Amino acid sequence: MHSAHDSDWQTTEPETATGQANASAASVSPEEIARFSAIAREWWDPTGPMRPLHAMNPLRIGWIDRHLPLRSRKQSPLTVLDLGCGAGLASEALAKAGHDVLGMDASAEGIAAARKHLEDNPLPAGSGSLAYRVGSAEALVAEGVTFDAVVALEIIEHVTDPTAFMSMLANLVKPGGWVFVSTMNRTARAFAFAKVGAEYIMRLLPVGTHDWRKFVTPSELGHYGRQAGLSLEDIAGMTPSLLGDSWRESRDLGVNYIAAFTRG
């Protein structure tokens, strides 16, 4: 097994003319890749189509960081994979929290936007390292690369096979490591808020961003995790303010939620 400190996890696969990596990407729908590639250049605009993620990000990263084990100054930083990283919103925040991060996405346009933002906005002193790679989870599994923690935020509702996806996350984390997944519950309230409200009424997200039928209930997510050999350690709701410009942790799992698993 390679560790995530090996230099080979910072390389990129050859890309096709469509901008998608040649690596097997069974977990990622080409339509989903194209949809998010189309808005890659707007990803870092806090008032643009990714406005909800900008508002949600401090809560997500703070919750994840709180669950990760502390390391002494003599120990190396934790290695973290941000899978489906888009243009790097969570990746940069995790690196600023002191972790060594690999941001990976099947969208070449998203990774290009992530690298450009990092080039224009270098990480402050005291941060961990940050590298980006175009490709799929399957490619890393095939290489035998593992990490202290794997993060998959707002991605499982876009994959073709959530059971296989959770198995890949389990294969990418070291024994005793952590897997974090955030997603949306398949409830009437989530349909009204995340689909109708965000896409059609408030225009916070491009129409077609979400397919409500692919939303995942907490019980389903827990089942996928158990099948993959993961133990659900904690789960929390994520609730927006009335204006949607900030989010707080709550016990309400009815719309957005985040879960922490460990690999036993």
Whether 105 has a binding-site annotation, put simply, is yes
Contact status, residue 214 vs residue 184, Cβ threshold 8 Å: no
Q: Which residues lie across from 247 on neighbouring strands?
A: 240
Whether 35 has a binding-site annotation, put simply, is no
CA atoms of 51 and 210, how far apart (whole Å): 15
CA proximity to 13, closest of 5, 25, 3: 25
Whether 153 has a binding-site annotation, put simply, is yes
CA atoms of 148 and 76, how far apart (whole Å): 11
**Which amino acid, 152?**
A
Whether 244 has a binding-site annotation, put simply, is no
CA atoms of 126 and 17, how far apart (whole Å): 38
CA trace torsion 8, 14, 20, 25 (10° rounding): -60
CA atoms of 38 and 58, how far apart (whole Å): 25
Q: Which residues contribute to the annotated binding site for S-adenosyl-L-methionine? A: 60, 84, 105, 153
Question: Where is the binding site, in residues?
Answer: 60, 84, 105, 153
